[in-house]
Amino acid sequence: MRIAILTAPEGVEEIELTEPWKAVERAGWNPRLVSTEPGRVRAFNHLDKAGTFAVDHVLAGASSEAFDALVLPGGVANPDALRMDARAVGFIRSFFEAGKPVAAICHAPWTLVEADVVRGRTLTSWPSLATDIRNAGGTWVDESVRVCHAAPATLITSRKPDDLPDFCTAFVKEFGAAGQAAA
């Protein structure tokens, strides 16, 4: 399975990129870093600069058709930049339209709000997004991980880096189930 991990060129929370990446690899799948610009993305540890990571696919040339699922890491600046990019918003929306599972952690649900895909869904996030999610028609819950099977696509969400073990376990299970159903 090919798993897209979408980030802006700068501002992704490093551990929310690297831990899901490792979980995808441990599952035997192929993680691919997708960004709005070519080159490398700059990660952060909260507000401090951290490592850089090579971009595998530039959003302009990427399509949800090339992937089986999508992971949206957080950080504050990362989803804030992505929600202002029409290509990124369209890319995210296309996974839902295709019925492909999506996983989002921390502030990443901001992009889901922008893509208008939270209406009628129950999800979690960093607590400061609760009002945004409710205003977009979603139900916000304070849980380490929430799996929402509302049609047409499964959505797996989590609150923060401390929840990464639960988040990774849940999305690997859901992505695997979706992959078996598609086979």
**Structure confidence at residue 179 as a pLDDT band (50, 70, 90):** confident
> Does the active-site annotation cover 57?
no
pLDDT in tens, 82-111: 999 999 999 999 999 999 999 999 999 999
Domains delineated in the chain? 2-173 (3.40.50.880)
Neighbours of 128 (CB within 10 A): 10
Rounded Cα distance, 50 and 48, in Å: 6
Q: Which of 46, 57, 107, 148 is catalytic?
A: 107
Q: Across residues 22-31, what is the average pLDDT?
A: 98
> Does the active-site annotation cover 106?
yes
Q: Which of 57, 106, 148, 168 is catalytic?
A: 106
pLDDT for the residue numbered 6 = 98
Q: Kindly report whether the global pTM for this prediction surpasses the value 0.85.
A: yes
For residue 13, the cross-strand partners are 44
